[in-house]
Amino acid sequence: MSSRLIRVWQIVLLGTALFAVGAASAKSIRFVTEPLPPYTYLNGDKVDGPMAQVLMSACARLAWDCELKIMPWRRSLQTLKNGHADGIFMLHENSDRRRNYFMSPNIIVGRYVVFERIGMRFEYKDQGSLAGHTVGAYGPSGTSQTLNEIASRHGVDVQIESDNVTVLRKLVFGRYGNDGLALMNEAVGLYLLKHENLEGLQEAGEVEQFHYGIGLSRRSMTAQLSQQFNKVITEMCVSGDISQILARFEMPASPCNP
């Protein structure tokens, strides 16, 4: 093959590769999430909240056409599994999720705390202090996974519920027994206590601090697109743009990890 013909083929292949990357970048990227105020919620017909605003800002910088949909968590996971979505948030990173998703840098700091009924005088000191208690949590979720890990070491009676409101209501009405407790994201718990008019509960201690990020499906997104996305998230963190967005919601930003 002549050098001229080889050069022509190189140009063709390069053009094809650039077209493929450009087409992938320009396509509509579909993200799913669950209703989890104050983190994610519907504002009219638009998905809103701190993570949604960070995500849409990143999409604008990448010139991606991003579509956000809100649905129950199990349905969100199934939608991604079926290939009908490209990304999901908010994710608490673990080994299973790293296998299924390209994970973004950490974006929002969260805390898992124990809630108790007022008057119990339970004080959380360490995971062992939950031994012998019935503890409710919402699942499947990062919260329920954390609780199950604690239970495997310390003999906790785990009760998994379909939503966080059910957990708090059962705790209020003593459905977990006289020594019953609940494990929950602190911001979610405090929001629900206020907006669902639930009284008689208080925090009993912090179990774990963690971070939320965004996952891109390994099925429909490429490592190259993930690297582009993560680069923009990191730049937004270092510039302080993420902190400014989260400050509007009184949410703490995760430390930057260039």
Buried b (16+ CB within 10 A) or exposed e, 103-126: bbbbbbbbbbbbbbbeeeebebee
- Which whole number is the average pLDDT over 90-109? 88
Question: What is the overall mean pLDDT for the chain?
Answer: 90
- Nearest Cα neighbor of 214 from 133, 101, 104 is 104
Which residue in 250, 254, 246, 255 sits closest to 50, CA to CA? 246
**Element of type H or E holding 254:** none
Average pLDDT over residues 212-222: 95
Arithmetic mean of pLDDT, 234-252: 97
Domains of the chain: 3-109+212-247 (3.40.190.10), 110-210 (3.40.190.10)
What would the pLDDT profile of 54-78 be if each residue is shown by its tens digit?
A: 999 999 999 999 999 999 999 999 9
3-state secondary structure of 18: helix
Identify the weakest region by mean pLDDT among 28-32, 98-102, 158-162. 98-102
pTM: 0.83
Tens of pLDDT, residue by residue over 138-187, are 998 889 999 999 999 999 999 999 999 999 999 999 999 999 999 999 99
- The per-residue pLDDT for 213 is 96
What is the share, in percent, of the chain residues with pLDDT greater than 70? Answer: 89
Q: What is the pLDDT of residue 27?
A: 66
Token code pair at residue 101: 């998703």
Amino acid identity of residue 95, one-letter, is: S
- SS3 annotation, 104-116: CCCCEEEEEEEEE
Q: Is the pLDDT of residue 18 over 90?
A: no
